[in-house]
Chain A
């Protein structure tokens, strides 16, 4: 189907060791899907396989009808991916405007010359993430939360049909987290599909439409109310995890509750 992300028996192995096994899933686009799982569960590998950066050992992938293995460039025009923040080389002296401009110029031909219109788009994208006043600031001088907002601006300036975020709330303050969540909601309204890997689903409790639980294999996938059962949560958070029934959105608590 052209309006979904489908994997059929997706298996990925590195050096003979399977990090993902037989993943069968169909994620509708647009929708907001949250992916959770313990460390080493293959969450990031799953995301990277969707954009063609990781090749499956077996099985198939279709992103909006495009096979990322056969046509990685086509998929990369449809999907924006924000990697985990620790993987960036912050000491490279580069301005905020150039980080966001990267999103536009990556799609142009060499020598990737930018226009005045591109500058305006960059300013607009920075305003959207509340970073309009930081246009020329060196990226490495920003706080973790500000950097994450700039990276989000870099992704959205490409107007993707699918936005993939790998642990976007790590080292981010609450204000930035709320700003990002508000913006994700707006993107969803604009028919963008969003996939988020996170360890904490609670900030997205009222937003997530589907949850995918991974632990090398697909543990479960579906609407939160169906997936978030005690026996499933135990595989990610341990035996003390449960969902607060009285809340309108599925809030997960771990450990003992006193009150």
Chain B
């Protein structure tokens, strides 16, 4: 029988709550028309981790890959905003693909240049394990999430206005360029820290799926952000318990649940529309 209050599980519960808060960035990405951005940023995190690990190997010193992960993911998101132009969604999506290609190339190249024991560190960001998080990891994640949440709350209206009508917001004197870059930075940051918790392969399922599902039953931006957080936390906790009792990989079970929630929501709301 697994002790549900075992330290590694308590750390996992905290990580699920943190990931729920970070998942609200997925909602912002959906509203801004760049749904894939957090997932792309999480792949850029792989490039950052590879560079950190490679540099550590070459220089013979330990470099914490987490900082490189979140910095690269945030920087890649800002680069997407810069390369794509702020108002053109087609250009943004093209830039998103380009930046992701560069990140993955760096990952593939540098991963091949480090010994097997360091490949494991890099691969920890590709397929993460929420049960292996340490207290130090949680501290880093907590601080990053707190910073992202602070700015999200402080600039909530700016984010809402720009997502709704960026041209109108600009015409009314809101500094759209600044807030847009900030929004992309925070979405990238969230993608990076989600890669630490679940691995970047599953960020699609953990950031985009709950946000896409919550969008279907949310009538307001504020409730939408909250619903995404609540849905991610509920499914995260449920997935965690299920994975423990079924002895399955936690990240995979949680991702399966969030994906299923999206499919069920989609089918339900399509059926409701027809009725």
> Residues of A with Cβ closer than 8 Å to B?
51, 53, 72-73, 76-77, 79-83, 87-89, 91-95, 98-99, 102-103, 105-107, 110-112, 138-139, 151, 154, 158
B: interface residue count bin:
20 to 34
Q: Which of B127-135, B155-163, B250-258 contacts A (4 or more CB under 8 A)?
A: B155-163
Are B165 and A89 interface neighbours, CB within 8 A? yes
14 A-B pairs (CB sep. < 8 Å): A53-B167, A80-B172, A88-B168, A89-B33, A89-B165, A91-B31, A92-B31, A93-B218, A105-B157, A106-B173, A110-B155, A111-B154, A151-B168, A154-B168
Are A106 and B172 interface neighbours, CB within 8 A? yes
Complex Cα distance A51/B168, Å? 11
Complex Cα distance A99/B172, Å? 12
Residue of B155, B157, B164, B219 touching A89 (CB-CB under 8 A): B164
Contacts of B68 in A (CB 8 A): none
Are A106 and B33 interface neighbours, CB within 8 A? no
Q: If A88-B165, A99-B164 touch, does A107 touch B33 (CB 8 Å cutoff)?
A: no
Question: Does chain A have a CB within 8 A of B220?
Answer: yes
Are A76 and B172 interface neighbours, CB within 8 A? yes
Closest chain-A Cβ to B96's Cβ sits at a distance in Å of 18
Complex Cα distance A125/B158, Å? 22
Question: Does chain A have a CB within 8 A of B17?
Answer: no
Question: Does chain A have a CB within 8 A of B221?
Answer: yes
Residue of B155, B158, B173, B221 touching A93 (CB-CB under 8 A): B221
Complex Cα distance A83/B87, Å? 14
Complex Cα distance A241/B155, Å? 51
Closest chain-A Cβ to B218's Cβ sits at a distance in Å of 6
> Residues of B with Cβ closer than 8 Å to A?
31, 33, 154-158, 160-161, 163-165, 167-174, 215, 218-221, 223-224
Residue of B170, B172, B221 touching A92 (CB-CB under 8 A): B221
Are B173 and A76 interface neighbours, CB within 8 A? yes
Are B167 and A83 interface neighbours, CB within 8 A? yes
Complex Cα distance A98/B157, Å? 10
Contacts of A73 in B (CB 8 A): 173
Q: If A93-B218, A93-B220, A111-B154 touch, does A77 touch B173 (CB 8 Å cutoff)?
A: yes
Instruction: Taking A88-B164, A93-B218, A102-B168 as given, write out 12 further A-B residue pairs in contact, using a Cβ cutoff of 8 Å, ordered by the A residue number.
Output: A53-B167, A53-B170, A72-B173, A88-B165, A88-B168, A92-B160, A93-B215, A93-B221, A99-B164, A112-B158, A138-B219, A139-B164
Q: If A89-B33, A92-B163, A112-B157 touch, does A102 touch B172 (CB 8 Å cutoff)?
A: yes
Closest chain-B Cβ to A173's Cβ sits at a distance in Å of 22
Contacts of A87 in B (CB 8 A): 165, 167
Residue of A88, A91, A103 touching B172 (CB-CB under 8 A): A103
Complex Cα distance A89/B161, Å? 10
Closest A-B pairs by Cβ, 9 of them: A106-B172, A76-B173, A81-B171, A92-B164, A83-B167, A88-B165, A112-B157, A92-B163, A93-B220
Complex Cα distance A102/B166, Å? 12
Q: If A105-B157, A138-B219 touch, does A89 touch B169 (CB 8 Å cutoff)?
A: no
Closest chain-A Cβ to B156's Cβ sits at a distance in Å of 8
Closest chain-A Cβ to B70's Cβ sits at a distance in Å of 25
Are B172 and A158 interface neighbours, CB within 8 A? yes
